[in-house]
Amino acid sequence: MQEAAVLTVLPMILGSLTGIFISRGLMRAVNYFAADVSGRREAVFHYHPAVLAVTMVSAVVTVLFSAWIPAGKMSRMTPLEAIRNAGSVPLMKKKHSRMLSRLFGMEGELAGNALRAQKKSMRISSISLFLSFLGFAVMLMFTTLSSISTRYTYFERYQDAWDIMITLKDTEIADFHLTEELEKVSGIQDVAVYQKAEAVTVLPEELQSRELAGLGGLEDVAGIPRGEGGFLVEVPMVILDDTSFLNFCSQSGIAPSLDGAVVLNQIWDSTNSNFRYKKYVPFVKDKGTAVMALSKASGPDGGQGKNGQSSQAVEIPILSYTEKVPRLREEYQNYALVHFIPLTMWKSISGKLGGGEPDSYIRIFSSEKTRLSHLDSLERRLVQLIGNEYAVESENRVRASCLDPRVFWEEAPVLPILIFAAAIVLFVALAYYIGGRRLLRCDLGEVLRDDALV
pLDDT-above-70 percentage for the chain:
70
Q: Are 379 and 406 in contact (CB under 8 A)?
A: no
Domain boundaries, the chain: 1-88, 164-370
304 pLDDT tier (thresholds 50, 70, 90): very low
Instruction: Please write the tens of the pLDDT for every residue from 15-24.
Output: 778 878 887 8
- Confidence (pTM): 0.60
**Amino acid identity at 292:** M
The answer to whether 361 touches 147, Cβ cutoff 8 Å, is no
CA–CA separation, 278 and 281 (whole Å): 10
| 337 closest CA partner among 232, 236, 188, 246 | 236
Among 4-8, 179-183, 197-201, which stretch is predicted with the lowest mean pLDDT? Answer: 4-8
Look at 119-123, 161-165, 225-229, 324-328 and tell me which has the smallest mean pLDDT.
119-123
The three state secondary structure string of 75-128 is HCCCHHHHHHCCCCCCCCCCCCCHHHHHHHHHHHHHHHHHHHHCHHHHHHHHHH
Q: What pLDDT does 454 receive? A: 47
Q: Which of 299, 421, 409 is nearest to 353 (CA)?
A: 299
Render pLDDT for 308-362 as a digit per residue (tens, 0 to 9): 444 578 999 999 999 999 999 888 888 899 999 999 999 999 988 988 999 999 9
How far separated are the first and last CA of the chain, in Å rounded?
27
Q: What integer pLDDT is reported at residue 82 of this predicted model? A: 60
Q: Decide: residue 295, CB within 10 A, 0-12 exposed, 13-18 middle, 19+ buried.
A: buried
Of the candidates 259, 252, 256, the one whose C-alpha atom is nearest the C-alpha of residue 321 is 252
